[in-house]
């Protein structure tokens, strides 16, 4: 993983050219208000495709004002009107293996450059053509001499559409940073550069467009300025090239660079779990809903069962297109369009992530992150700040939790509390924007996509630590283990890599699908042994510690307690007798009044679900050893301690459990429903419900309850 750059060292907003007598002739003429040599008017330049035009006065340097407020029609009808079939998804599935995107200020010629390189237009909306600006993401295919292809993603340059630009820039292998020769680096150039850096785009080419509109001296000055500004960027930029896209000059250097970028593109994990962040969704007559995006990892095939997260909507792939042709499968690095009839278009929003339905991806509202604040940020980031977070193609509002203020230019660890869940992975990059006005202020990477809620964000950079050390840091925050299925998402690695990592790591154990430190299991075994020894000291006449009580005092997940208990029983350290366990060699002191015990158990059984408390039994029998007798009966499995002073017959508890599961499978468990079903008052029902909570049969949900996941009638 590339280290986070201290932002703010490149890409500042305005060119500083020589002033006064030493200035270029064109610059002096522009200052005097005369026509600068070979500069096109703004309107004429747009008429020629934003890359050329007739001579005219140079307009003042500006940021284009927002377009007039009117519907953008983001899902314009398909052009051509042909019948649905192979190729109808082509505008969304336009490349394989390598993804290249544009970046740069509005009206600097990004779309014109892509059209000149590919021979295909990216402006698919009528509104875009009318205004002459890019509003939505555009996708076209670039054919390589070897028969392969690059997917081009053209992004909007206006400041109003930066959120769309970020969605398009996520997952790029390389970028063309477009700078107009007649304006140089402008505000959106700098902001787009910061986005590329924070998303970890590895490589870029600065392309100075409209080279035919300025004199050679001015062009040389712009090229030098661009190279200087980008030298400190974390993106590896090659030397800038000058082009005149409308005339077709200078494009050979860009073509050569694209071929080289395709040959040296970073490998993507095709053996990983499927993840496709959606950036487009539309409906095609005769096909139905079509969803499109870049395959970040894994593979997808026709017939696959999919799940969109975080919404949870399910779908199945009827057909799949890549490079405008129907194919059976696509893999990491491909631009794909998936026909998923039956999926409501409203469920396929930008920001959803396409996964296989069987894969264990978990959406989260909390992210522990490493965040870098841009050096040009207006103010420090403080604890509780409201920010906009862009991860994948999703944009969500969040609260930033910081141990101390983060100054401009600094890097720190923070926790993001998201207003809506996202699907993130360890090592994912994100972009951070201010809440209002929306401005890109930094970014970073995800350290822990599913942090324990009661923990604090700590420095455990996903992707930096090697091998078992990375897994060890993760387990330091999860002493009671983590599921094997969750590790690929937490570590940002494929299931095969995780399996090898766990297998090679020392001091770890895999128990019932969980990874836990061996030292944690050993410590739990000792706690269980000590709990049994303590019972022997407190009640030497009793046969041992009831299993239910042993599980409660363990303060550990049931799977972990059962594993430790099995090992203690297997080694003979503990011995099981009925429903209790005792230490090896332990013999109860004194005898038990067998007749009294039998009478007491019979009384509790006869009471059913209206069992008397210990105090009530003591008053009823006049005996002071009722609790000891009941503990003995519990050890034999005849009664269950629902509360410390309230025992029910085992048969009555089994009846209650069956009723609980019956009601719970139908939905919410209301006390009144159980009361009517069992014919028992709240005096007895509430202790039973609280016992079910402690046994993790149920979980409280307001005044009602619901079954814990995984509960069954057994």
- Beta bridge partners, 381, equal 406
C-alpha closest to that of 480 among 526, 511, 504, 502: 511
The confidence score (pLDDT) of residue 86 equals 36
Q: What is the pLDDT at residue 101?
A: 86
Given a cut of 70, is residue 72 above it in pLDDT? Answer: no
- Residue 59, classed as helix, strand or coil, is coil
102: its two tokens: 């544009």
Name the least confident of 14-18, 517-521, 566-570, 627-631.
Answer: 14-18
| Range with lowest mean pLDDT among 80-94, 217-231, 563-577 | 80-94
| β-pairing verdict for 305-309 and 353-356 | antiparallel
- pLDDT mean over 6-23: 35
pLDDT at 436: 86
* 471 vs 251: which has the higher pLDDT: 251
| pLDDT band of 214, cuts 50, 70, 90 | very high
What's the pLDDT score for residue 529? 95
pLDDT at position 631 is 82
% of the chain residues with pLDDT over 90: 43
Examine the pLDDT at 528 and tell me if it is beyond 90: yes
Say if CB 392 and CB 422 are below 8 A apart: yes
| pLDDT in the model for residue 591 | 64
Interval 611-664: pLDDT, tens: 999 999 999 999 888 888 888 888 777 888 898 899 999 899 999 999 999 998
Residues 230 and 35 sit within 8 Å (Cβ to Cβ)? no
**The predicted structure's pLDDT at residue 419:** 96
Residue 712 exposed, middle or buried by CB count within 10 Å (0-12, 13-18, 19+): exposed
Q: What are phi and psi of 199, to 5 degrees?
A: -85, -5
The model's confidence at residue 122, banded by pLDDT at 50, 70 and 90, is low
Is residue 417 within 8 A of residue 399, CB to CB? The reply is yes
Q: Report pLDDT digits (tens) over 394-419.
A: 999 999 999 999 999 999 999 999 99
The more confident residue out of 701 and 99 is 99
- The Cα 295–Cα 384 span in angstroms is 34
What is d(CA 481, CA 458) in angstroms, rounded to the nearest whole number?
18
Q: What is the pLDDT of residue 613?
A: 94
3-state DSSP assignment of residue 253: helix
Give the lowest-confidence range in 80-84, 129-133, 294-298.
80-84
Mean pLDDT value across residues 11-29: 32
User: 139-143, 254-258, 455-459, 460-464: which has the minimum mean pLDDT?
Assistant: 460-464
Give tens-digit pLDDT for 146-156: 878 888 887 76
At residue 547 the predicted structure's pLDDT band, cuts being 50, 70 and 90, is confident
pLDDT tens track for 550-560: 888 888 888 99
Average pLDDT rounded to a whole number, residues 514-526:
94
Alpha helices in 102-213 (DSSP H): 110-118, 126-131, 162-169, 187-198
Asked, as a colleague might, if the bond just before 310 is cis with ω within 30 of 0, I would say yes
> What crossing angle do the helices spanning 110-118 and 251-263 adopt, rounded to 10°?
80
Position 463 scores a pLDDT of: 44
Find, among 448, 450, 469, the residue nearest to 369 by Cα. Answer: 448
The token pair that represents 147 in the structure block:
């028969």
Could you give all domains of the chain from N- to C-terminal order, each with its CATH number? 20-53+87-263 (3.40.50.300), 276-356 (2.40.30.10), 520-583 (1.10.10.10), 595-707 (1.10.10.10)
Confidence of residue 333 (pLDDT cuts 50, 70, 90): confident
Which of 503 and 311 is assigned the larger pLDDT?
311
Averaged pLDDT score across all residues of the chain: 80
Binning pLDDT at 50, 70 and 90, where does residue 477 land? confident
Three-state SS at 22: helix
List, for residues 171-198, the tens digit of each pLDDT value. Answer: 788 999 999 999 999 988 988 899 899 8
pLDDT band at 681 (very low <50, low <70, confident <90, very high): very high
Cα separation, 243 vs 505, whole angstroms: 54
Least confident of 66-75, 531-540, 585-594: 66-75
Tokens representing 162 are: 């930066």
Where residue 323 falls (left for φ over 0; alpha for ψ -120 to 50; beta otherwise) is: left
Report pLDDT for 52.
Answer: 38
Confidence of residue 42 (pLDDT cuts 50, 70, 90): very low
Cβ proximity of 108 and 182 under 8 Å: no
pLDDT score of 711: 57
Q: Phi/psi at 673 (nearest 5 deg)?
A: -65, -45
**Highest mean pLDDT: which of 92-106, 403-417, 448-462?**
403-417
Give the mean model confidence (pLDDT) for residues 210-220.
Answer: 93
Indicate the range of 274-278, 386-390, 455-459, 575-579 predicted with least confidence: 455-459
Q: Rounded distance, CA 153 to CA 172, Å?
A: 9
Secondary structure class of 207 (helix, strand, coil): strand
Least confident range of 1-10, 129-138, 252-261, 384-393: 1-10
User: Of 353-357, 544-548, 642-646, 656-660, which range is least confident?
Assistant: 544-548
């Amino acid at each position: 993983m590339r280290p986070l750059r201290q932002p703010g060292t490149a890409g500042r907003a305005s060119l500083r050219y020589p002033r006064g007598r030493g200035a270029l002739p064109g610059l002096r003429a522009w200052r005097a208000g005369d026509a600068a040599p070979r500069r096109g008017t703004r309107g004429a330049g747009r008429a020629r495709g934003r890359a050329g035009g007739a001579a005219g006065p140079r307009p003042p340097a500006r940021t284009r004002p927002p377009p007039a407020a009117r519907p953008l029609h983001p899902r314009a009808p398909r052009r051509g009107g042909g019948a649905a079939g192979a190729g109808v998804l082509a505008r969304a599935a336009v490349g394989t293996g390598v993804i290249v995107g544009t970046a740069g200020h509005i009206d600097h010629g990004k779309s014109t450059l892509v059209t000149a390189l590919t021979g295909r237009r990216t402006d698919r909306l009528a509104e875009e053509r009318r205004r002459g600006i890019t509003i939505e993401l555009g996708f076209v295919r670039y054919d390589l001499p070897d028969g392969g292809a690059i997917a081009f993603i053209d992004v909007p340059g206006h400041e109003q559409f930066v959120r769309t630009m970020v969605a398009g820039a996520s997952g790029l292998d390389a970028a063309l940073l477009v700078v107009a020769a007649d304006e140089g680096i402008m505000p959106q150039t700098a902001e787009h550069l910061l986005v590329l850096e924070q998303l970890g785009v590895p490589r870029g080419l600065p392309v100075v467009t409209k080279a035919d509109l300025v004199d050679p001296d001015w062009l040389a000055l712009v090229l030098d300025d661009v190279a200087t500004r980008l030298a400190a960027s974390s993106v590896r930029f090659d030397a800038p090239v000058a082009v005149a896209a409308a005339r077709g000059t200078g494009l050979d250097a860009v073509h050569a660079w694209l071929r080289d970028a395709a040959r040296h593109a970073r490998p993507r994990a095709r053996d990983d779990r499927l993840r496709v962040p959606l950036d487009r969704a539309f409906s095609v007559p005769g096909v139905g809903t079509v969803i499109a995006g870049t395959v970040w990892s894994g593979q997808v095939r026709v017939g696959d069962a999919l799940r969109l997260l975080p919404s949870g909507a399910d779908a199945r792939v009827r057909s799949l297109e890549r490079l405008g042709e129907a194919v059976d499968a696509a893999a990491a690095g491909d631009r794909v369009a998936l026909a998923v009839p039956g999926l409501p278009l409203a469920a396929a929003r930008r920001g959803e992530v396409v996964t296989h339905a069987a894969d264990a991806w978990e959406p989260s509202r909390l992210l522990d992150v490493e965040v870098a604040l841009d050096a040009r940020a207006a103010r420090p980031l403080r604890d509780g700040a409201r920010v906009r977070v862009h991860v994948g193609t999703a944009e969500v509002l969040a609260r930033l939790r910081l141990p101390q203020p983060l100054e401009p230019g600094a890097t720190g660890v923070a926790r993001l509390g998201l207003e809506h869940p996202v699907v993130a992975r360890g090592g994912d990059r994100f972009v951070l924007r201010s809440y209002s006005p929306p401005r890109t202020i930094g970014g970073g990477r995800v350290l822990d996509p599913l942090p324990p809620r009661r923990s604090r964000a700590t420095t455990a950079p996903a992707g930096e630590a090697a091998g078992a050390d990375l897994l060890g840091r993760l387990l330091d925050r999860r002493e009671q283990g983590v599921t094997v299925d969750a590790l690929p998402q937490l570590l940002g690695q494929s299931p095969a890599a995780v399996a090898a990592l766990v297998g090679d790591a020392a001091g770890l154990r895999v128990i019932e699908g969980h990874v836990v430190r061996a030292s944690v299991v050993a410590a739990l075994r000792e706690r269980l042994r000590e709990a049994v020894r303590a019972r022997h000291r407190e009640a030497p006449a009793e046969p041992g510690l009831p299993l239910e009580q042993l599980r409660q005092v363990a303060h550990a997940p049931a799977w972990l307690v059962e594993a430790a208990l099995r090992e203690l029983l297997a080694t003979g350290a503990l011995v099981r007798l009925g429903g209790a366990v005792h230490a090896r060699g332990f013999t109860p002191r004194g005898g038990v009044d067998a007749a009294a015990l039998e009478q007491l158990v019979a009384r509790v059984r006869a009471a059913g679900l209206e069992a008397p408390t210990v105090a009530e039994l003591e008053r009823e029998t006049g005996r002071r050893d009722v609790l000891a007798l009941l503990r003995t009966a519990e050890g034999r499995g005849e009664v269950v301690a629902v509360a410390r002073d309230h025992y029910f017959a085992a048969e009555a508890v089994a009846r209650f459990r069956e009723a609980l599961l019956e009601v719970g499978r139908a939905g919410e468990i209301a006390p009144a429903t159980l009361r009517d079903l069992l014919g028992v008052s709240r005096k007895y029902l509430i202790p039973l419900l609280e016992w079910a909570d402690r046994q993790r049969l149920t979980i409280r949900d307001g005044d009602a309850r619901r079954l814990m996941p995984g509960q069954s009638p057994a």
